[in-house]
Structure formats: C-alpha cells, structure tokens
C-alpha cells in the first residue's frame, strides 16, 4: 500500500507542474504566429471565410479562455484538429499516438541496450582500472561523447547504403531499410516470407537504435565506472574483503548494487536527451515518428499538434522519473517510498 500511495503522491505533485508547463508552452505557441497565415495568402478565400474558420477553431478568443478550452478538451480526449494546410482537419490524438508508438519503440530499444552495455562496460572498466579494457572503454566513451548524434546517424546511414549496394551485387535484398516499416499484417508476412519480414524489420530498427544507443552508452559507462570506483573504496567494501569474501562476491553482492544508484539518476535525466536525439535521428532515417510530427507542426505553425506533442513527451518524462525513484528503493533498502 505504501508503494501505491507513493505513486499516487508523485503523480499528484506532477499534475501542477504539468499544468504550469502546458500553460507556458501554450503562451509561446500562441505567440509564435498566426496559424491561418498560410490560408490568408490564398487568393480564392475571402476574409469572411477566414474569420468564420478562426471563430470555429476558437482563435478569435482571448488567450486565457483559449487555454482552458484546449485543456478541457485535452483531458476529455478531444485534442483538437490539425489546422495546417494539407492536413484535411486531421484529429490530433490519433496522429500523435501513431507517431508516439513508433518513437517509443526506438527510444526503449536504444535505452535498454545503452543501459545494459554501459553498466557492463563501466563495471568492467572499474574492476580492471588502468588496464587495456579500461583505456579502451574510456576512449570509446569520449569518442561517442564528442560526436553529435546527427553525425553518428549520418555516418551509419552512409555505411549502410554502401553495405546495401554490396548485398545487392550478391543478388540479395536490402537489409537496412530507410523508412520505418509500419505494416505488420499477416498479408505482409505471407508476401515477403517470415524471415524476410524479420530481416527488414530489424534492419529498419538497427541503425536508428544504434545512433541513439552510442551516445547514451558513453554517458552510462562513464557514470558507472566512476560510481563503481567510489563504491569499491567504501569502508563496508573493505570490511567485506577483510572477512574473507571472494572478490566476485564483494563486487556483485556488496558494491555493484549501490553503484547503480547514480546511474539510475542519470537514466531519468538522460531521457529528455534521448527524446531530443530521437527527433534528430528520425529525420535522418526518414521515420514517421514524433520527430516528423514536431518538425511538420513547427514548420506549418500547427498549435494543437505542438501542444499535444509537448504534453505527451512531458508525461513520458514524468513516468521515467517515477520509474527511477522506484528503482532507488529496490537498489537501496534505506531509501523508503512510504
């Protein structure tokens, strides 16, 4: 029950933060320009028609009533419609959700790989300090740290294109797909074959996932190494060694668990960076995820889509921080959630 109350309390604290943040973003979006500016340039649309559209969308109201109209619709599932030219008044909710499920698979895959590899490499580098393994891990981490994510994505894409050419010359199909493969229907499996479908799906995921994973891996490995070295010098670790415990048991049973706490903190902070990296990576690999939705909404000054995008990402960040807080109590029994 304490855990349930803790989660509810954290969510209750997050609601005012989310409201304040959404209002500030709404003010900035409203001040970014006229959403109907492109419509006003159409010679076949008169001012009366434009005024009628603005009234129907509530754009002629003052800022505060417009915000509360948007907020009331948002909490009831009516996120408004996309008013950008060429969108055919598409509802925002399904548009955001379709893009979100594309992006979240990319983000989760990259983060899971980055955490596993980063923690493992950081642990090994700390245990074998100043060895070849430590120097190699440090070199790789600083290499990925120094490279912008769009640079990593472009380099991987160039090599993938060259590899596809080689594979095609061998009479085989491409492995690395550029656009995200949306269909998972039985018809597609039947037409391509199961293993062909798996290869295409994996190839479409592999390069964008690696692009994000490399940057996060560098941060996790350095944090884990630093935290592990600090933990290995603690008094309780020395006491465990003095009792005659094996080095393996000292590291895995006593030191490793506490050394994970700073890395858990980094996970919650790094989530925003990963989302930003996903936006850039999706543009490089032409994925139809949250990155494409955001860029299109900003370019066309589509306020409802921009607001939906920001709130969905904010909720995802809050959930990531809540997961990190819960992991604290698992890793360290002294940290109580009640």
**Which residue spans within the chain are E strands per DSSP?**
none
Position with higher pLDDT, 49 vs 196? 49
Q: Lowest mean pLDDT: which of 159-163, 185-189, 199-203?
A: 185-189
Residue 323's pLDDT is what? 83
- Rounded CA-CA distance 78/53 in Å is 18
Residue 56 pLDDT level (bands cut at 50, 70, 90): confident
Residue 34's pLDDT is what? 74
- Rounded CA-CA distance 207/126 in Å is 29
What does the buried/exposed string (b/e) look like for 251-276 if buried means 16 or more CB atoms within 10 Å of the residue's CB?
beebbbebbbbbbbbbbbebbeebbe
What does the buried/exposed string (b/e) look like for 192-217 if buried means 16 or more CB atoms within 10 Å of the residue's CB?
eeeeebebbbebbbbbbbbbbbbbbb
pLDDT per residue as tens digits for the range 67-99 = 998 898 888 888 888 876 555 578 889 889 988
Nearest alpha-carbon partner for 278 in 267, 293, 289, 268: 289
Residue 124 makes CB contacts below 8 A (sequence gap 6+) with 133, 137
- Rounded CA-CA distance 118/37 in Å is 48
Here the tokens at position 160 are 């993938």
Residue 102's pLDDT is what? 85
Position with higher pLDDT, 201 vs 15? 15
Kindly list the structural domains of the chain, giving each domain's residue range(s) and its CATH number in brackets, ordered by start: 3-85 (no CATH), 93-335 (1.10.3720.10)
Residue 10 makes CB contacts below 8 A (sequence gap 6+) with 322, 325
- What is the mean predicted confidence (pLDDT) over 216-229? 91
Here the tokens at position 227 are 């935290």
- Rounded CA-CA distance 7/338 in Å is 10
Position with higher pLDDT, 192 vs 295? 295
Nearest alpha-carbon partner for 252 in 273, 267, 270, 232: 232
Q: Lowest mean pLDDT: which of 132-136, 194-198, 256-260?
A: 194-198
Residue 336's pLDDT is what? 57
pLDDT per residue as tens digits for the range 244-287 = 888 888 888 888 888 888 888 888 888 888 888 888 888 888 88
Q: Lowest mean pLDDT: which of 29-38, 175-184, 211-220?
A: 175-184
Q: Lowest mean pLDDT: which of 9-18, 66-75, 163-172, 258-267?
A: 163-172
- Rounded CA-CA distance 155/284 in Å is 10
pLDDT at 7 over 80: no
- Percent of the chain past pLDDT 70, that is, above it, reads 86
Mean pLDDT of the chain: 81
Owner of token pair 């506490």 = 258
Residue 190's pLDDT is what? 45
Dihedral of CA atoms 27, 32, 35, 36 in degrees, nearest 10, equals: 130
- Percent of the chain past pLDDT 90, that is, above it, reads 11
Residues recorded for the chain: 338
Model pTM score: 0.79
Residue 123's pLDDT is what? 93
Q: Is 91 helix (H, G, I), strand (E, B) or coil?
A: strand
- What is the mean predicted confidence (pLDDT) over 210-218? 89
Say if CB 113 and CB 215 are below 8 A apart. no
pLDDT at 179 over 70: no
- What is the mean predicted confidence (pLDDT) over 1-16? 77
């Amino acid at each position: 029950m304490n855990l349930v109350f803790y989660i509810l309390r954290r969510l209750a604290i997050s609601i005012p933060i989310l409201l304040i943040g959404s209002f500030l973003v709404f003010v900035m979006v409203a001040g970014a320009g006229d959403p109907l500016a492109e419509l006003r340039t159409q010679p076949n649309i008169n001012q009366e028609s434009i005024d009628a559209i603005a009234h129907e969308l509530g754009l002629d109201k003052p800022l505060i009533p417009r915000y509360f109209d948007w907020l009331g619709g948002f909490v009831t599932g009516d996120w408004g419609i996309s008013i950008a030219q060429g969108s055919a008044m598409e509802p925002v909710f399904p548009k955001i959700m379709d893009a979100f499920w594309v992006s979240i698979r990319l983000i989760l895959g990259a983060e899971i790989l980055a955490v596993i590899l980063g923690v493992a490499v950081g642990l090994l580098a700390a245990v074998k300090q100043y060895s070849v393994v430590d120097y190699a891990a440090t070199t790789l981490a600083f290499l990925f740290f120094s490279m912008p994510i769009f640079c990593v994505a472009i380099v991987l894409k160039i090599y993938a294109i060259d590899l596809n050419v080689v594979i095609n010359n061998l009479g085989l199909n491409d492995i690395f797909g550029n656009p995200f493969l949306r269909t998972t229907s039985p018809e597609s499996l039947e037409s391509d074959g199961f293993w062909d479908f798996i290869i295409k799906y994996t190839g479409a995921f592999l390069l964008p996932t690696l692009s994000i994973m490399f940057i996060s891996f560098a941060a996790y490995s350095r944090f884990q190494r630093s935290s592990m070295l600090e933990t290995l010098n603690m008094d309780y670790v020395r006491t465990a060694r003095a009792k005659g415990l094996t080095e393996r048991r000292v590291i895995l049973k006593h030191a490793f668990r506490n050394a994970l706490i700073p890395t858990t903190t980094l996970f919650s902070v790094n989530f925003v960076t990963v989302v930003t990296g996903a936006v850039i990576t999706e543009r490089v690999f032409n994925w139809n995820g949250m990155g494409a939705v955001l860029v299109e909404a900003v370019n066309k000054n589509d306020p409802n889509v921009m607001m939906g995008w920001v709130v969905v990402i904010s909720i995802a960040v809050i959930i990531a921080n809540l997961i990190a807080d819960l992991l604290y109590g698992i890793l360290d029994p002294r940290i109580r959630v009640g």
